[in-house]
Structure 1
Amino acid sequence: MIPAWLYDFRVQAIIVALLAFALYANTFKHEYALDDTIVIVKNEYVHEGFAGIDDIFTKDAFDSYYKQFNSSNQLSGGRYRPLSIVTFAIEQQFFGAVPVDKVDSVLARGLSYEMKSKEEQQFLRNMHIRHVFNVLWYMACVVVLLYFFRYIVFRDNHIMALIAAVLFTAHPIHTEVVANVKSRDEIMSLLLLCGTFIYAFKYYENKKIITLISAMVCLFMAFLAKEYAISMILLLPLAFYVFNGFTIGQCFMAVLPYLGVVGAYLAWRFSIVAPMNESSDNDLLNNPYANADKTEQLATKISTSLNYVKLLIFPHPLSSDYSYNTIPYKNFSHPQVWASLIVHGALFRWMFKFFTKRHVLSFALAFYLLNLLIVCNLIFNIGGTMGERLIFHSSVGFCIIVAYFLYKAMEMIKPAATGRLAIAGCVVLITALYGFKTIDRNQYWFNDETLFAEDIKTTPNSVLVNSNVASSYINMAEAEKDTVKKFEALRTGVKYYNKVLQIHPTFVSGYMNRGVAYLKLGIPDSAKFNYDMARKLYPNYPKLYEVYYNLGVCYYLSGRLQEAIGIWQQVMQMEPKYIVAQQSINTATQQLMAAQQAMLQQQQAAQQPPKK
């Protein structure tokens, strides 16, 4: 017999919550990585605390970052996900909000490699706390997910619900979602979607209007967390059909109030998100299929979807980035394309087959496939090829399926006691393996340096991974006191940027940062070539005049006064009010004239006959 206490919700909730805490406690001392920079570190509205909340709700999620690069929306459809960003702003209010009139100086100062200043050290301590909050959000999410399983999906089998919740909690593919603070939007989205299901079903039990309103509020907030809530248009009526035995007509009537929520959200969203910058569609980092023809685009998108199945079944190796050129373009002669078509075709077939039987597997397959359709680029352009965080919602369907078949396998084993022991051993073994991988993977999310140094082994052709590894070497050189080691780090950074620009010849940041490395190496001609390329590709690069001013300084320190003056004259054309450049021109001109005068005197002296 399975002990009676194991069926109790409180016991099961403690199990999954403690499991989540144990698996992710090693992230509490982490710093920031990946998109944390865009969403938190470089987000003026977050730094402003409560004062920034209005802007967070009325602007694109990346608005602050775009402004700092003199740009606008670079992603198809924009990104409107204010809910998680508001939580970051609230946290910042208690950490210490930055006054609105001083936030620009905070963003401009940035963070150095060694984190020496008091402000930098305080920022990292704040990030530690944010990581703790992320784990707490995840614990809340898996507990609500457990309740969703018990109350709706496995209402007659609470052990099956526990198995599904445990598998979901421990799955290593979720490490990006929990270990990367920015991905709190994924956690909040799933939590609120589960809340929508729960309140929607409770309404048909108690018929209280407050319950219906609660369900509608949860759905609207789920939209504010992330756009994935659009899948509820089909998943909610399907759940009523499968689990409550509603007719098709009853399902349609039941979902009508929620369609109003969807309409209100879409109207609000489209009034806020700006149209995409037209040039961004040709940027390989925002549109990785820009260099592929229509056939290659379709074939590559189809084949890439199979990668998610593989990672859910066998989550190794994992990577933080799958952008250009990690996944090469494919055509319909590639076997993975057809394997993906066969696998997903079979999944859709089984979903419809089980639908007629009102079977739980129909709902599980729909949960997986509908959420996959949102992120696989076949319907919506997500601005990337794939990402482990993007399968977070779909993995719920996967865990339902695995839990179902594990439990059914137990029932087939006789005697029953042996079956129960076998299933317990199987779940413990899977959880242990998942847990080991999760804890191991977490350590690399410490910061950008540790993350990309590891992931370049997995995705060696990724532009972003190579670029970030290169940047980390340049940052290390900045902190290095030994000249030999400093120059070695800079040359290594240049080597990685050479690879980046070989893969992506129009990558502006690649040229700009390689130019910085050459400048630090004291090679101004190579720095100038890179800056000129960046300027040609992106004339509106922020504070370009300061970059060229530093280039002029490098020429000046090399004793090449004429070249320095020429560069500073360009600076004055870019920014006529930049007085420092004019002062430098005056100083260098005086030195050049003095040097020319001295040379002329030497020549005249050499031409005079010697005195007798």
Structure 2
Amino acid sequence: MVFNYLCFGLNPVAFHLTNIALHTVACLLFTRVCLKVAALKPPFAALAGLMFSVHPIHTEAVTGIVGRADVLACVFFLLSFLAYHGQPSDGRFHIWTSVIMGAMSMMAKETGVTVFLLNLAYDLYLQWPNIKKTIAELRWNQETLEFSSRATKMMTSTGVLLALRLAILQGSLPRFCEQDNPAAFHSSIYVRFLTFCYLAAFNLWLILCPATLSHDWQMGSVPLVTSISDSRNFLTCFFFGVLFLLALRSIIDFEHLRHPPLILGFLLLILPFLPASNLFITVGFVVAERVLYIPSLGCILLVIYGIQMLWNNCPKHRQTFTCLLTVILISSCFRTLIRNKDWKSRESLLRSGLQALPHNAKMHYNYANFLRDSSRHELAKSHYYMALKLWPTYASAHNNLGTILKNNYEAEKHFLAAIKYASNHVNAHYNLGQLYRKNNKTMKSEQMLTRCINLEPSFTPAYMELARLKGPNHRSVPGLLKKVVELNPNDPYYASKFGEWLTKKGNHLEALKFYWTSLRICATHRDSAIGVFKHFRKFGQKARMFQMLTRWHNLLRKKGTNFRQDFYLQEWHLKNELSDKIKEYSSSLHVKNYSQDLDSKNSKWTLQKNKTTNEKTKMLRKKKQDNSETQDHKALDFSKFAILTYC
């Protein structure tokens, strides 16, 4: 992502093209795995790569920037596996290459760590005859010793990398709420077990039949399995029955090594899915299509291997198989194209999610947020009410609904409900504080805003609202505004606002300091520049003001920003003032020269007249000298002032 940003900025096309390029690499690597490791025939290996490339379940991972972690993890996952199994075993070089690639996969996504288990399990399958011989003869052979060495290196590396990952997480796993994964927070272990087993089967069904796809499966999208009589348990039993048969067939094949694609496909399907299965750790989602990116490798490999066996064993039906595969590929392409259109914009994505899961409270909530941002408040209200109907304790829905209600009593009721269901909801406290301020309930407003700051000390709007509530003359306002500037060191807006407040209080030196701070952050910040111009004007530094105004315009011109006409008017007015000042100085100089000429021409005047003229000339010179010294003192004083503000 850093490379994308440095080369192309925030251009979304570059991000999408990079994801597509990574997906293409993953498809090519998977094709090589099928060909070199799984030993599929070349046409079927190519078919596996093609089916993987157009599978609709991958749309979220390839289209969304968040999914890049899964695609990148898959690329390093396959590179690690190929380094371990895809080349002749000539020593430690390939083992350590596999470890490095596996570490890169794990850093991209935690599920990448399962490649070490995959490498060991598949190596165990390939070396089982030698291991069995060692056990029978009670004597180590060369192959078993090499396998033990590889296994030791892989297990040690896995332990070190897991410890490193936990250290990055500071020894604690992420925490989630009930809305993210309702089954994980259910009090009954019986319900949790049935639901998690069903979710595993449901994920496999999404890979096999991606008809219903959504970007968000939270908030009751998949209802809990609370009873053994639930019809969904049949799907669970069928799924685990198939897995049991595959496992049994794989164990039998350990003796003969006849079906490597079966073993590899089974391992690829099960092992990468384990971290997302809720069996070992609690995850923050019910179903996530992007986490199926790597497990789908195993499912596709099993399907293609089955087709290859049917192709070899039933030559009379090859035309039927060809038609069936063509239909599958075309339908997959068509479904992927439709799914890509869903990801075209925020509105299309939310609409598609709402159509797929109309009983999902979060879908209604997210779509209502979009409508609110689009100023379609009436329609937004209906979706907020629907979200609350589906999930009555949805605190964020209560809070956001309160922000668009015109009835103050109803708005207050929903803000209080949000605080009731989520006592640490910062925005609900802030919005309620704003509502109380508008209704002149000063004490209650101050309580809510103070509570908001206690809950989230870095919540800037609460400080600003509290300063507005207390009024400009309250003694706590400077501390509040200064705290806001400290919390936002890279935002010129708050430093500029503090400068304006200091200017109104007559603290010009401190105000100019914060104006300069704001301009250091953003040299084209308008309010800060105006504040500096006003200070220059106040201290008589009109030439300096004109110089800075010209430079500021040049800077705006380089950035391609549209100019404000009032700045040009101010510049024109300043030019006129400076022109008048130049004329005044010129006229004084003309009087001086004229007096000197007059003295030389009237040398024959009387002594009294000469004396009077000389006295007038001396007085004029003295007056001009005094004016010049006054201007010099002014410039010196302001120069000291400007130096202090810069420092």
TM-score range normalised by the length of the shorter chain: 0.5 to 0.7
- Residues in 2 aligned to 1:147 and 1:129: alpha-carbon distance in whole angstroms: 27
**C-alpha offsets along residues 254-277 of structure 1, whole Å, 9 cap, x if unaligned?**
232122221121111111214669
Deviation of residue 469 (structure 1)?
Answer: 1.0
Size of the aligned set, in residue pairs, is: 445
Q: Which residue of 1 aligns with 2:298?
A: 397
Instruction: Please list every run of 5 or more consecutive structure 1 residues that lacks an aligned counterpart in the other structure.
Output: 1-87, 97-122, 478-488, 587-612
**8 A contact 1:473–1:490 mirrored in 2:** yes
**What is the correspondence of 1:262-281 to structure 2 with a 5 Å cutoff?**
262-274=158-170
2:203 corresponds to which letter in structure 1?
A: Y
* 1:531 to 2:415 alignment: yes
Q: Which residue of 2 aligns with 1:137?
A: 22
- Residues in 2 aligned to 1:206 and 1:448: alpha-carbon distance in whole angstroms: 52
* 1:581 to 2:497 alignment: no
**8 A contact 1:168–1:399 mirrored in 2:** yes
> Residue 165 of structure 1: which of 31, 35, 49 is its match?
49
Does the C-alpha gap of structure 1 residues 313 and 514 become closer, same or farther in structure 2, counting only changes over 3 Å?
same
**C-alpha offsets along residues 516-571 of structure 1, whole Å, 9 cap, x if unaligned?**
222xxx22222222223333444544466753454246x4xxxx5x4467535643
Structure having greater relative contact order (Cα 8 Å, sep ≥ 6):
1
> Residue 442 of structure 1: which of 337, 340, 362 is its match?
340
* 1:316 to 2:211 alignment: yes
Does the C-alpha gap of structure 1 residues 570 and 389 become closer, same or farther in structure 2, counting only changes over 3 Å?
closer
Q: Which residue of 1 aligns with 2:5?
A: 92
Deviation of residue 233 (structure 1)?
Answer: 4.0
Q: Which residue of 1 aligns with 2:387?
A: 500
Q: Secondary structure at the match of 2:332?
A: helix
**8 A contact 2:103–2:113 mirrored in 1:** no
> Residue 467 of structure 1: which of 352, 365, 371 is its match?
365
- Residues in 2 aligned to 1:585 and 1:283: alpha-carbon distance in whole angstroms: 46
**8 A contact 1:174–1:392 mirrored in 2:** yes
1:216 corresponds to which letter in structure 2?
A: V
- Residues in 2 aligned to 1:277 and 1:389: alpha-carbon distance in whole angstroms: 20
Larger Rg: 2
The percent identity for this pair of structures is 18
RMSD across aligned positions (CA): 2.9
- Residues in 2 aligned to 1:444 and 1:585: alpha-carbon distance in whole angstroms: 53
> Residue 70 of structure 2: which of 169, 183, 186 is its match?
186
**C-alpha offsets along residues 21-76 of structure 1, whole Å, 9 cap, x if unaligned?**
xxxxxxxxxxxxxxxxxxxxxxxxxxxxxxxxxxxxxxxxxxxxxxxxxxxxxxxx
Compute the TM-score of the two structures, normalised by the length of structure 1.
Answer: 0.67
**8 A contact 1:292–1:329 mirrored in 2:** no
Q: Which residue of 1 aligns with 2:282?
A: 381
**What is the correspondence of 1:163-562 to structure 2 with a 5 Å cutoff?**
163-202=47-86, 204-207=88-91, 209-242=92-125, 247-248=130-131, 249=144, 251-274=147-170, 283-291=178-186, 293-330=188-225, 331-357=227-253, 358=257, 359=259, 360-414=261-315, 419=318, 421-477=319-375, 489-518=376-405, 522-542=406-426, 546-548=430-432, 550-552=434-436, 555=438, 560=439, 562=440
Does the C-alpha gap of structure 1 residues 569 and 317 become closer, same or farther in structure 2, counting only changes over 3 Å?
closer
**C-alpha offsets along residues 358-382 of structure 1, whole Å, 9 cap, x if unaligned?**
3221221222122333322233321
- Residues in 1 aligned to 2:154 and 2:173: alpha-carbon distance in whole angstroms: 32
* 1:567 to 2:567 alignment: no
1:231 corresponds to which letter in structure 2?
A: T
Does the C-alpha gap of structure 1 residues 497 and 584 become closer, same or farther in structure 2, counting only changes over 3 Å?
farther
Deviation of residue 444 (structure 1)?
Answer: 0.6
Q: Which residue of 2 aligns with 1:5?
A: none
Deviation of residue 224 (structure 1)?
Answer: 0.6
**8 A contact 1:367–1:396 mirrored in 2:** yes
Does the C-alpha gap of structure 1 residues 294 and 140 become closer, same or farther in structure 2, counting only changes over 3 Å?
same
- Residues in 1 aligned to 2:171 and 2:128: alpha-carbon distance in whole angstroms: 43
Deviation of residue 344 (structure 1)?
Answer: 1.4
**8 A contact 2:433–2:444 mirrored in 1:** no
- Residues in 2 aligned to 1:461 and 1:585: alpha-carbon distance in whole angstroms: 52
**C-alpha offsets along residues 245-301 of structure 1, whole Å, 9 cap, x if unaligned?**
7644564542321222211211111112146699x5553225544245221111111
Compute the TM-score of the two structures, normalised by the length of structure 2.
Answer: 0.63
Does the C-alpha gap of structure 1 residues 414 and 212 become closer, same or farther in structure 2, counting only changes over 3 Å?
closer
Instruction: Please list every run of 5 or more consecutive structure 2 residues that lacks an aligned counterpart in the other structure.
Output: 132-143, 454-461, 475-647
